[in-house]
Amino acid sequence: MDESSTPQNRRARRSPVFLTATIEVAGIPEPVKLRNLSEEGVLIEGDRLPPEGTRTCFQRKDLLVESRIIWVQGRYAGVAFDHPLKPEDVLRHVAKPRPTAKLDHRRPGLACRPLSTNERKMIEQWLSISQVPRPGE
Beta bridge partners of 22: 31, 59
- Residue 77's alpha-carbon distances to 50, 68, 103, in angstroms, are 9, 10, 41
Provide CB contacts within 8 A for 98, sequence distance 6+.
none
Enclosing H/E stretch for 60: strand 55-60
- Give, in words, the CATH class of 15-91: mainly beta
| pLDDT number for residue 136 | 64
Please list the pLDDT of the chain residue by residue as tens digits (137 residues): 334 443 455 556 666 777 888 999 988 999 999 888 888 989 999 999 999 999 999 988 888 899 999 999 999 999 999 998 886 776 666 667 777 878 777 776 666 778 889 988 988 888 787 776 666 66
Q: What residues contact 131, with CB distance under 8 A and at least 6 apart? A: none
Does this model's pTM top 0.85? My answer is no
